[in-house]
Amino acid sequence: MTEALPIQTGSPAESSSDYLGLSAGGEEFILPLSAIREIRSFSHATPLPHRPGWVMGVVNLRGTILPVIDLGRRLGLASTDKGAGTLGARPVIVVVESAGRLLGVAVERVRDITRIADRALEPPPACATGPGGSFLRALAVEADTVLRVLDPARLAPGPEGSAA
């Protein structure tokens, strides 16, 4: 005698994650919400010597020295830095945590939070990688728009200011 298998009447719970939309260098991207620690108003960073052009410098985050990068420049796009004249009226610094390290990411603005099903994420194509590798973790399509998911771990400067 065989046992009857239970019949599922609804769709199984689908795994999904939330992402924060943001603008940098005139383009739209999303970051995993799980990596975002806070969003703070823009403040000019104290420059450091011998830094890559996309590293703006450091700011004081409640007694912690926080490195800040210009996301637009980091991605090879237009600068996000207000001094370069490309920032909107209300730029912000998104504080991101990756591998236990905090990083300030200067962006033109933040947008809505978007929920994306994990099965909808696809790896970026090989042509999206450069000498330092891809800054993209994944791509997804939502309402005929391709969403570009940034990898927070790839944004931070590497040891001795290398392009991680």
What structural domains does the chain harbor?
17-158 (2.40.50.180)
pLDDT at 29: 95
d(CA 39, CA 92): 7
Predicted TM-score (pTM) of the model is: 0.80
Cβ distance 114 to 83 under 8 Å?
A: no
pLDDT tens profile 103-159? 999 999 999 999 999 999 999 888 876 554 589 999 998 888 899 999 999 998 765
Rounded to an integer, the average pLDDT of 86-112 is: 87
Strands 92-98 and 101-107: antiparallel
Phi, psi values for residue 22, rounded to 5°: -150, 160
HSE toward the beta carbon, residue 3, CA cutoff 13 A: 3
- In whole angstroms, give the CA distance from residue 61 to residue 97: 13
Task: Please write the tens of the pLDDT for every residue from 23-75.
Answer: 998 899 999 999 999 999 999 999 999 999 999 999 999 999 999 999 999 99
Sign of the dihedral defined by the CA atoms of residues 75, 26, 18, 140, in that order = negative
